[in-house]
Amino acid sequence: MYERQRQEQKSYTTTAIALHWLIAVLIVGAFTLGLVMTDIPGFSPTKLRYYSWHKWAGVTVLLLAALRLLWRLKNRPPALAASMPAWQQSAAHGLHHLLYLFMFAVPVSGYLYTLAAGVPVKYFGLFQLPVFYAKNPALADILKPMHYWLNMAMAALVALHLLAALKHQILDRDGTMRRMLPGRSI
């Protein structure tokens, strides 16, 4: 009985919706900060503040992504629209898996790069996160571009996700996007 109700569910749970949008805002904010802060010359107070905010957003994304993954494992999402072709359903599942992977890979790569650069992370200025290894410039030289390109790939995936949602809203009109809007959960 419970499983049938879950399969008939038309919207995501309130928790899933809240985590989705909170993580989305943090990812866009961290990405934007990353682009802005790296263009600021020198080490001004503003640049250092942006770096802190960027790191805090990344750590928060990592924590919320873990929570979201745990939630998703215990709470199945609603079925995709029956009108959606099998290849689109496969593509949607694949894109979601990649987004989850990148929600972990991007902040972890940034954290490891920060450690390799010899800069510990003090989360919200309250407590220092673990330092797993000493400053390592050679490793930092590898991790810096890795973090950058993981971010660029994630930005492309987010753009594809947004375009797919808009396609379903505007062209298909199948209610797919509406299921993730706040106030729409059952």
Q: Tokens 């410039």 sit at which residue?
A: 137
**Does some domain include residue 185?**
no
**Does some domain include residue 174?**
yes
**Does some domain include residue 41?**
yes
Range of the structural domain that residue 29 is part of: 2-180
**Does some domain include residue 27?**
yes
- Rounded-to-integer distance, Cα 27 and Cα 29, Å: 5
Per-residue pLDDT at 3: 41
> How long, in residues, is the chain?
186
Per-residue pLDDT at 52: 95
If you ran DSSP here, which 8-state letter would residue 131 be given? Answer: -
Flag the least confident range among 16-25, 75-84, 96-105, 152-161.
Answer: 75-84
CATH of the domain at 78: 1.20.950.20
**Does some domain include residue 62?**
yes
- Quote the number of domains for the chain: 1
Q: Tokens 């490891």 sit at which residue?
A: 112
Per-residue pLDDT at 174: 84
End-to-end CA, the chain: 16
**Does some domain include residue 91?**
yes
Per-residue tokens: 72: 């998703």
**Does some domain include residue 51?**
yes
Yes or no: say if 164 and 92 are a contact pair by the CB < 8 Å rule: yes
Mean pLDDT to the nearest integer, 160-184: 86
| Residue 76, number of CB atoms within 10 A of its CB | 12
Flag the least confident range among 34-38, 85-89, 180-184.
Answer: 180-184
Per-residue pLDDT at 7: 41
pLDDT digits (tens, 9 = 90+) for 91-135: 999 999 999 999 999 999 999 999 999 999 999 999 999 999 999
Per-residue tokens: 146: 């890795």
Q: Tokens 């991790």 sit at which residue?
A: 143
**Does some domain include residue 107?**
yes
